[in-house]
Amino acid sequence: MDARIRSVLDFIEANLHRSLKLKELSQTACMSDSQFHRLFKSNTQQTPFKFIEALKMAKAYQMLVHESALVHEVTCAIGYNDYETFSRAFKKHHHLAPDDLKALARHVEESDAKVEDLVIVGWDNEKNEGEIVLKLQQLIEEHNLTPQDLEQIKAYEVRHDTSEATSGHDLVKNKYRVVDDQQLWQRLIKQISIMNINKVYHSKYSPEELFKAWVSPNMTIPPVVKIEVNPVINGHLILHTKSPEFESTMTGAFLEIELNRFLKYTWNWSGSEEHTIIEVSFLATPEGTDIHIKHRDFQSEESRTMHDSGWDHYVTELQKKMG
């Protein structure tokens, strides 16, 4: 990530209690407003104010669920002048009003869950499991959860229920029923596993050697016949493939780069609507390097399976070529 954007992110983090202006942010980065706006979006995939709002809503969630803060305290802490404006923004992100979320968290805490481990995902329309999975995926990344962590989580479904048949003491705020729904949770976990690849490979080569090979235009592994690469932020990565069965192009753009340590880039097959994200970490070990690959946002199990075996082939052949 660009150092100027990093400094702005630090500034934003320290000033979430204020209503920040674009001019302040661009001055912090020592850039014009238009230049800063373009650079910020290219580094974060969000506009400055969408990014700030998401941070504020994440902090509000943390304060309400995990810090037992009062709603009016949260409103002030993240720079909103009135509850109505804050509540609209909060509901847009979390699909629950702030006071409803707080009441639900208290209800679950008083049952048998530890509030430190509590995550509530709100949804205010027909249950769309695909969209819920995307939201859960964001939470998994934020909290760095492993598949083992997911298996141990206890899930609750919050249902909007105002039927007269339901007694008042069973409802939270007279409108929500909280249900232990492990079948739903297991189904969501399965969908999440379809969307992602997490692999670790061991190599005798150093992180420096592997990083150099990873971004080299000369490391063509069949069926790749040509590589075009510019390893800088927003730089391109284009792989041209050819075989008797097919001919295709894969394109990507670098989002984050830490020399000899980390790469993050987008990934898309030509003609496909599937856009995925790849993260590669090179971690030194006494024997060489552990290569950690996270590849996410697949839209089908077929695509995930194809890429899973593809990574095995690529890493094996890359090291052969380096030797």
Instruction: Map out the domains of the chain as residue ranges.
Output: 46-180, 197-322
Asked if domains 46-180 and 197-322 share a fold, the reply is no
Contacts of 126 (CB under 8 A, 6+ apart): none
pLDDT at 45: 79
The label of the residue with tokens 């001019």 reads 23
| Mean pLDDT score, 187-212 | 87
Residue 170 in this model has a pLDDT that exceeds 70: no
- pLDDT of 115 reads 45
Contacts of 191 (CB under 8 A, 6+ apart): 129, 130, 133
Share above pLDDT 70 across residues of the chain, in percent, rounded to a whole number = 83
Judge whether residue 201 has pLDDT over 80: yes
pTM of the complete model: 0.58
Query: What is the three-state SS of 256-317?
Result: EEECCCEEEEEEEECCCCCEEEEEEEEEEECCEEEEEEEEECCCCHHHHHHHHHHHHHHHHH
User: Mean pLDDT: which of 104-108, 181-185, 189-193, 199-203 is highest?
Assistant: 199-203
Query: What was the pLDDT predicted at 119?
Result: 58
pLDDT higher than 70, residue 299 = yes
Residue 322: what pLDDT?
95
Q: Which CATH number fits domain 197-322: 3.40.718.10, 1.10.287.3510, 3.30.420.40, 3.30.530.20?
A: 3.30.530.20
Instruction: Tell me the residue ranges of DSSP E strands in the chain.
Output: 156-160, 176-180, 196-203, 224-229, 236-242, 247-258, 262-269, 275-285, 288-296
Residues contacting residue 176 through CB under 8 Å, at least 6 positions apart = 100, 103, 104, 158, 159, 160, 161
Helix runs in 144-254, H state only: 147-152, 182-195, 207-214
Q: For residue range 223-278, list pLDDT tens digits in order.
A: 999 999 999 988 999 999 998 888 999 999 999 999 999 999 999 988 888 899 99
46-180 classified as CATH 1.10.10: yes
Amino acid at 153: I
pLDDT of 123 higher than 70: no
pLDDT, position 214: 98
pLDDT digit string, tens, across residues 57-75 = 989 988 988 788 899 999 9
